[in-house]
Structures are given as C-alpha cells and as structure tokens.
Structure 1
C-alpha cells in the first residue's frame, strides 16, 4: 500500500491531536494535520488558506474596533475510561489572512467515565449535560449557535459491547441536540485506539520541537490509560520494521516533505485498570456479585470493593498466603507475557515520554514531583515496586493497589515492551505548559470537516 493510503486510513476519521499553549499560532499544527494525509507543500499552503477561510466564515467575528479581531469558540469532550473531560477553547483571529491563535482554554472533568453508565445511558448523558454548564458559562450567549460541540470516546467505550456503547453515544447526541450549541452529524464518535498512539507521538514531538528538526531526532511516547496502553516511536533500524509480524504495527505518512514510518500499537485491555482486573482473575468473570477476587499483590488483610467500567468487584489479599514483589511479579507476568510485542530496537532506544498513569503512579510512589514531573529510568519503577510490595503493612493502608500498579508498570516496560532497565523515561503531564492532549487537534479537524465535507 502506498504511504499516502496508509496515512489516510489512519487519520481520515480522527483528528491530529496537537495541543498548544495559549497565545501560540496554530499554523504549524495545521501543517502537520494536512501533511499527514500526504499533501504536497503547495497543496498544504493552499489547503491552509482554505481552512483558515472556512473557520472564519463558519464563526463570524465579534466587533473589536481596535484591531478588527474576531473571537470564536469550540467545545470538545474527551470521554475516557475513568472520566469525562470538557475543553472549552477560545480562539482569536486578527486578520482573515492569518491563522487563528488559541487564547484560552477552560477545562473541567467528572468521574466516573461514560462506560460506567453502560446499563443506564440516561445517567451517562446527564453527566455530559452537567459539564455543558461549563460551556454555557464560558461561551457568550450570542455565540452559542455558532459554537460546535464534539465528543470523542476512547478505550472505556471500546471495551463495551457494541449495543451498549451505541446507546451511550446516542444518549450523548440527544443531550447535544438539547443544548444551544452547533451539532453536526459526526459530533459524537469513538476514537480508534491506534490513532491515539500516532496522534500522541505527533503532539509530543511537535511540542518539543522535534518535528521541525531536519535530523529526524524524535522521542517515543508511552501512554497508559485505564483501558488501553499505546507505544509509538520512529524506528532507526529497518529490522524493527521488517521483523514486526502484523502490518498494523507500522504506520507510514508524509510530513514536512519527509516520510515517517512509525512503529505504533494500541493494546486494548492492557490499561492499568483493565490489568488490575486481569491480575485478579476478574476480567470477563461472571457472578461478580458474590465472588471475592484475590491477589498476592494486595495486602493480606485488605478487603474492599473496587469499581471499574460500571461493575463493582469484591477484592482482597490472600489472608493465609504469601505476598511480596516476587509473587506479585509472577502474577502480573501472566497478564503481559505473550500479549505485548517486543520491538527489535527498544533495547538501544532513546528517550521516551511517558504520561497518564505512568505519571500518576510515579507521583503516588514519590518518584517525581507532581507539578514538575521528571526523568526516571525503568529500574526506578522496579526498585520502588520492590519497596512497596515488600512493606505492604506500611504502604497498603493508604494505597492498597500501589504494589500491583507499580509491578504492572515494571513488568509492562521490561517483559512486555522489552526496555532495558537503564532506559530513560521523561514523565510528564505537560510539555512547555501544555497538557499532552488530542483535544485541540480534534477541534481543528472538526472545523475543517464542517466546511469542506
């Protein structure tokens, strides 16, 4: 298949998610968006002008006599497995010949995620209705009818049976139609998992300036969500590409007059919360109302309820058994071994940016600062996992799952992906004060579709 064909197959229905800090021009992000579908340099410039004009014509300007600027808004929902987040963006366009600038972002989130309402979609729709109040307060009343509202769902809904996922999405669409905002035919959908990895790689490398580098020195990305996990990097060795069994591990696309060939894959069911279920033997289990799911990764005296995906499980340690890092690791290894593919060259890899639950658990374990993030090696996760698991009486009361989670992260990195213990990971929630999110790119993609398709 031609590179362009592959690019289109990956990116046609999913936005390019590059999130930019307020005040930064978005022309470079749009160049990436258009180049991802294989356009030439001349075509990119033409399409950028068309896109600029389409956005401007879609959302008429407010009156700003001082500089003739116009302001417009957009509302984007990120429906994840553990929560639903709303991003309300404010854009300024000073001149019709220039690209808009992100002026402000209003953000709010609510738990649990939509998937928790699989058996009561009306309640799921109500959570979206509550979040829409943020949009009503942020967007001026006169702009409501011209402001698009969009929701993209990820692993939480991908894990649900198709009919239940559809019922939730239909309910959200009904709530959108009740609202005063602009609703299009593709306002509500589920995002493809593979695209999450590709788009996160583009976002991180754009924000770190690597996409502008002529040397093609890029960084890899590791994203650990609740229901799925993604890995994406630019291979340096042809053997990585040639030794990859399934074709869908490799994505080819053109960008800035260069062709990139990414190794990327999304593992549905290997997110942190789904991995807990698998370790407990509860993934896909029946009769959860009366069964107690036990693990040597939990403190011996621990017994409680734990909920994920709208189901509540009875979980506990093994009162008369053994616990500790070694036994926990063997239990976790069954969840990882043979499921996660090991790319050829990761043993000699460069820097990887790791976020989501990689970041959160590193903070919980005291490995990095919650506001600054920091660099870790894989062995740092291993060392702290041993400390926590072998001293569960100390750590177990406040964080009963910390041993299991740190051990899973260690096992996923070492025995799953095959990283060396001295591989450097950059743990982050933000790059240059910008959260690593696909939401802003999704917003521009939606603007583009509103006008052109």
Structure 2
C-alpha cells in the first residue's frame, strides 16, 4: 500500500508539474503575441478586428483593409496594424458613375465586381458582421453639383446596403464626400501618426524590416540632408543668393532631434503640401511656442460648435485655422484647400484659358500653340466641360477628323511664356496669405504629384522614405525638358514612367514650382521633403479615417461581438 500511495503521489506531482509548465508556456506565448515594434508594450490576447476604407479619388479608387485591436473600451482608442492590404482600380468613380447614369451600366458593374471580389477574398466570412465599411470620396466628387453629388452618394449608399449587407454598415458613417479641409487634415494626421509623433503611437508596424532598418534610415536621412544642404548652398550662392536656407547645421540638428524628442515644436512641427488630380491642399501645424508673434489675432481665437461627433473645430476669426483633439492632444492647424488646383484640373483650366485667348484672335483656326507642352506635340482638346478627370492626352495623328467643338493643341515648349500663363491662373485663384512665416524648423512634406514628378521626371530613385529636395529643382528640370520633343523627353526621364508624365512634364514641373511659390509666399529656394512613403509605408489618409471614426463605434463593435458569441454558444 505504501508503494501504491508513493506511486500515486509521484504521478500527481508529475501531472501538477506538467500543468504548471504548460500554463507558464501558454502565458508567455500570449504575452509575446503581437509585440509592438515600438517596444513599449505587449498585446495580450487581443481580439483582432478588420475595417475597410474605400478612397474614391479623382483618377482611381483604392480599397484598404486594415487589422486593428481595441486598446481602451472607454476612450475608444485603437491600435492599427500597418500596412493595410489594398487594391486599386481605375478610372475615377465619377467617370464610371457619369457613364452609368448615361445608360452605360456595364462598366459600373464590372468596376464593383472587382472591388467586391477583393473584399470578400480578404475578409473571412465569420469576421464580416463586425467589419465596418467606410467609403470616402475626395476631389472628383467635389467637382459635381450639389444635386448630382447627393444623387451619386445616395445611389452608392443603397448599393452597399444591398450588395455588402454581410458587413457592418452604419448609415451616418458609410458614405461621405470629404471637404477639401477634411482631406487635408486627414493627410496631416496620417503622416503625423506614421512619423510616430503621437505618444503613445496608435500604429503597429507589422513589417519587421521597418523596425530593424529604422535607425539606419534616420541616419541616412540626416546624411542626405547634409549632402543636400551642401549642394543647395553651392547652387544658391552661385545663382540665387538664397539666404532662406542658411545655417544648415541648425537644420540638421533639428532633423536629428526630430526622431528623438517630441516635446519641442521644432521636433514635430510639420506641414503637408498635397497636390492630387482634382484638388490641392496645404496644412501646417501651428507651433504656438515659437510663432506667437507671427500669428494674426491669436488671442481672438474662438471656436464654432463642432459638427456632430467631429473632432475638428473651426475658427470664427480665421476660417483657415482649425483645432483637432486626438489622444488628449490639442493640435492647431493652418489648413486650406483649393478645389481647382489639382494637377489635372489645373491643366484643364490652363487649356480653357489658352482656348479663350485663341478664340478672341482667330475662331476658325483649329490649331492652337501651347507654351506648356513639348515641342511639336499635337493633341486633341476636348471634354473640357466634363466633371471627371482623365489623365492621358489623345495624340493627334494628322489624319483624324477634327470635330466642330474640338481643337488641336500644338506644343511649342516656351518656358518663359508658360510661367507667365500659369502665374496668371494662380493670380486668379486668389491664394490666401499664410498667418505666419515659413521657418526652417518646419518640415514640409510634398506628396502625391510632388513625389510622382520627383521620381518620374526628376528621375530620383525611389527610397520609400522622404527625399530631401529644394523647390528650385522643378524649375531647373523644366528648363531642360520644356524645349524638347516627346521622344527627347523620354530619354531624360525615368524610363518606366508612363507616357502621360512625358506629355505633361513641362506643364507639371512649372505648375508645381509656381504653386509652391504662391502657396508658401517665397521667391527663393527652400528645402522640403518629397515623398509618398514614411518608414517604407505608403502615405494614405485612410489611416486617419480609422483613428477618427472607429472610436465612435467601439461600444457597438464590442456589443456585436457579445451577441455573435451568445448565438454561437446557443447553437
């Protein structure tokens, strides 16, 4: 009996020991699950949710599917896993809807068939009930009349409720057209988050290469700044006597501090210049501690009533100053959007302007000289009154019949005339003055077309991180390419760039350069960062959409989860 009791006792001890060991391993596995690359916390047994943000831009639609988890049920704080998985389809949805309501419906059905396939392939069936869809339309939809925009939005909302009813669809949040100001703020918040200027960061980077290479990227970026400043100083001292970028050591110190200390204005004061196809936006964080003397009527700051559930508050005295509150931080922003100054939209305006001048002189001549297009490049001028934005120019082959309402543009590549004509357009645009001076500690990021032209036309290698440039580089490249033919331009730009970039290279370069001069009120070259990536992650304002919208519905998501779990248990 003693031996039997001894064996039983040893067996029980062995079982208990194994149980403790398994529990220890289980807890450690859970603790290590989902470790944040910022090394500031562990994600312990969290529920991972999905969210879909659809960015309906002027030239295409991109669908982003994000993973996220809820950090704080009470405050609604979330952590978003970066990057998203995404899919892009072209052309812009406005173009497709215009055709749909003109009776050509097949394109629309094919368009959304591809979108639906992507979404259903990447969101598991059991997760769809709690996966919110947020459709946000930008510049192309703002070109529509109010009645037409509302018609399209109601149609799309009904379409989602009919064909995507397995998902979490909330009437007030499902389909919205962003104002220019909202789009600018979303871009700012997304870049601010990707730079990890929020503390704690609301993002978790799932690409380990980003974390491992981050310090090297920072050091390389600082070295690039040093080199760029040296080159820029030589260029400016020789040609432009530019004193706006002096004291480059201070600039580099600020860059270095940018990645190490987020408490000072000089470390996280950024501005974003966004130039898309239809609209252009500028948004700059107002650094109160350093720029009080420059801000007009700062102490008269008053707020409007906020829109329902909006974190954006506007200013009575200066409509371009807004306040946002995120993660218990008040951030004041200078924010302005220009509906007609997207690159393709501005080019339409330019063609209207030249066509109008031509008709005053000779209505019968169908061929019009165009200073801002490559030498001897001939193209059709039509569809100027359509609200959709098309990218490619249709080249004239010399034989096609010219319709009564159609003209042929003939490029002459005259850079001086081109600058004068674009300046006239910008004069009429009535660009607002900044309420403060652009100072060198403000890190400016030029995105969208600023970066497309840096890579495709300036032929700068893509680094998937911000590239330090100076504003004058666009003008210098224009001086090189404007007098050339299309064939000659193709030899001096990035070989993989599409034909549209070569066709519009002269106009695009001059417009980008003059736009920055007018917006920033500068006559001398200044440094800025060209990028569509931060930490090797594509910049997209859809990140900010989640940060602003998901906290409002955290309770609903948790409630849905409990209801689903209850019925699953019952079954």
Question: Gaps (5+ residues) in structure 2?
Answer: 1-33, 200-261, 299-315, 357-364, 394-405, 492-498, 557-571
Instruction: Please tell me whether residue 273 in structure 1 is matched to residue 336 in structure 2.
Output: no
- Tell me what 2:265 maps to: 216
Question: Aligned to 1:184, which of 163, 170, 182?
Answer: 170
199-208 or 123-132: which moved more? 123-132
Pairwise CA distance, 1:130? 2.1
Instruction: Please tell me whether residue 358 in structure 1 is matched to residue 450 in structure 2.
Output: yes
Higher relative contact order (CA 8 A, sep 6+): 1
1:302/1:316 contact within 8 Å kept: no
Q: Distance in 2 between matches of 1:381 and 1:215?
A: 32
Q: Could you say what secondary structure the match of 1:382 adopts?
A: helix
Instruction: Please tell me whether residue 369 in structure 1 is matched to residue 461 in structure 2.
Output: yes
Pairwise CA distance, 1:428? 1.0
After TM superposition, the structure 1 = structure 2 runs for residues 205-354 of structure 1, keeping only pairs within 5 Å, are 205-211=192-198, 213-217=262-266, 218-235=269-286, 236-238=290-292, 240-242=294-296, 247-254=318-325, 259-281=330-352, 295-305=370-380, 309-310=387-388, 316-318=408-410, 322-338=412-428, 339-343=430-434, 345-349=436-440, 350-354=442-446
1:25/1:99 contact within 8 Å kept: no
132-141 or 174-183: which moved more? 174-183
Q: Distance in 2 between matches of 1:315 and 1:131?
A: 37
Q: Distance in 2 between matches of 1:281 and 1:356?
A: 24
Q: Distance in 2 between matches of 1:409 and 1:376?
A: 13
Pairwise CA distance, 1:164? 2.2
Question: Aligned to 2:551, which of 425, 438, 448?
Answer: 448
Question: Aligned to 2:84, which of 92, 102, 105?
Answer: 105
2:367/2:410 contact within 8 Å kept: no
Q: Distance in 2 between matches of 1:256 and 1:145?
A: 28
Q: Distance in 2 between matches of 1:274 and 1:283?
A: 14
- Tell me what 1:201 maps to: 188
Q: Could you say what secondary structure the match of 2:265 adopts?
A: coil
After superposition, give the CA deviation of every residue in 1:63-117 in whole Å (9 maximum; x if it has no partner): xxxx744232111100011110000112356998995452762101011111213
Distance 1:24 1:128, change over 3 A: farther
Aligned pair count reads: 388
Q: Could you say what secondary structure the match of 1:205 adopts?
A: helix
Distance 1:145 1:366, change over 3 A: same
Pairwise CA distance, 1:359? 0.4
1:279/1:295 contact within 8 Å kept: no
- Tell me what 1:19 maps to: none
1:73/1:139 contact within 8 Å kept: yes
- Tell me what 2:359 maps to: none
1:128/1:172 contact within 8 Å kept: no
Distance 1:141 1:160, change over 3 A: same
Question: Gaps (5+ residues) in structure 1?
Answer: 1-21, 29-66
Q: Distance in 1 between matches of 2:48 and 2:136?
A: 24
- Tell me what 1:38 maps to: none
Distance 1:293 1:370, change over 3 A: farther
After TM superposition, the structure 1 = structure 2 runs for residues 135-174 of structure 1, keeping only pairs within 5 Å, are 135-174=119-158
Q: Could you say what secondary structure the match of 2:451 adopts?
A: helix
2:61/2:90 contact within 8 Å kept: yes
After superposition, give the CA deviation of every residue in 1:206-244 in whole Å (9 maximum; x if it has no partner): 322445522122111111111111111134534643189
1:280/1:293 contact within 8 Å kept: no
Q: Could you say what secondary structure the match of 1:409 adopts?
A: helix
Q: Could you say what secondary structure the match of 1:247 adopts?
A: coil
Distance 1:256 1:117, change over 3 A: closer
Distance 1:222 1:293, change over 3 A: farther
Instruction: Please tell me whether residue 82 in structure 1 is matched to residue 133 in structure 2.
Output: no
TM-score for both structures, normalised by structure 1: 0.75
Pairwise CA distance, 1:163? 2.4
1:252/1:261 contact within 8 Å kept: yes
Pairwise CA distance, 1:136? 0.3
Distance 1:224 1:104, change over 3 A: closer
TM-score for both structures, normalised by structure 2: 0.60
2:50/2:66 contact within 8 Å kept: yes
Q: Distance in 2 between matches of 1:184 and 1:284?
A: 47
Higher helix share: 2
- Tell me what 1:406 maps to: 509
Q: Distance in 1 between matches of 2:555 and 2:181?
A: 25
Query: For the aligned residues, what is the CA RMSD?
Result: 3.6
Instruction: Please tell me whether residue 421 in structure 1 is matched to residue 534 in structure 2.
Output: no
Q: Could you say what secondary structure the match of 1:173 adopts?
A: helix
Q: Distance in 1 between matches of 2:352 and 2:57?
A: 23
Q: Could you say what secondary structure the match of 1:366 adopts?
A: coil
